[in-house]
Amino acid sequence: MTPKYWFLIAAALVLGCLSLYLNTDWFRKDRIQIVHRAAPAGGFFRRRQPGQDASAPPLFEFNRKLKLTDIKVVAVSDLATNPSPRLYWHLVSDSNSIPTRRFSYGMKVPGMRPAANGEAPEPLEPGIPYRLLLQAGSLKAEHDFTPSPSTP
């Protein structure tokens, strides 16, 4: 075979590999997709206490089961102005997180504990935008949400 044919074969292989790289998800990093919806008044997993804010706790769902290692909820306005924003809810897992596909704000997530002992989640105000910051091993994700007022 002549050098011309070797060059054409090499060019075809390079173009084929480039096409596979650009048109498949084989080399992409895993992504966490998060959606939220308002849970019914009182929530799926907990009852609202008398005198507690009347916002419906959001329910967060993922595209697959995740072994969560860190969950934080902060106000979006605090993130813009403060390098260490106030945490409304912060859970951590030392090593034994149970894979989960969904959880509701303020619930006890299996295998996780509050970052500070005895720390309870603060009530969310309806109409204020918040950001959920998640970590599952080396994967990180964030999701903005705004709690809606619940109907009694």
Asked if 72 contacts 133 with a C-beta cutoff of 8 angstroms, the reply is: yes
Which range has the top average pLDDT, 23-37, 43-57, 74-88?
A: 74-88
Strands (E) across the chain are located at 34-38, 58-66, 70-75, 87-92, 100-104, 113-114, 130-136, 139-145
Query: Rounded to whole angstroms, what are the CA distances from 116 to 75, 112, 120?
Result: 19, 12, 9
Q: Would you state the structure tokens that stand for residue 2, as one six-digit string?
A: 């002549």
Q: According to the per-residue pLDDT averaged within each range, which of 14-28, 44-58, 129-143 is highest?
A: 129-143
- pLDDT score of 143 more than 70: yes
Give the pLDDT confidence score for residue 44 in this predicted structure. Answer: 45
How high is the pLDDT of residue 45?
46
Question: What pLDDT, on the 0 to 100 scale, is given for residue 89?
Answer: 92
pLDDT at 70: 93
β-partners of residue 145 are 130
- Structure tokens, 104: 């509701």
Note the pTM of the prediction, 2 decimals.
0.69
Cα–Cα dist 102/66, whole Å:
9
Residues 6+ apart with CB under 8 A from 23: none
* pLDDT band (50, 70, 90) for residue 127: confident
Encode pLDDT of 61-114 as tens digits: 988 888 999 999 999 998 888 888 889 999 999 777 889 999 999 888 888 889
Asked if 43 and 152 count as a contact pair (C-beta separation under 8 A), the reply is no
Per-domain boundaries in the chain: 39-145
Longest CA pairwise span in the chain (Å): 86
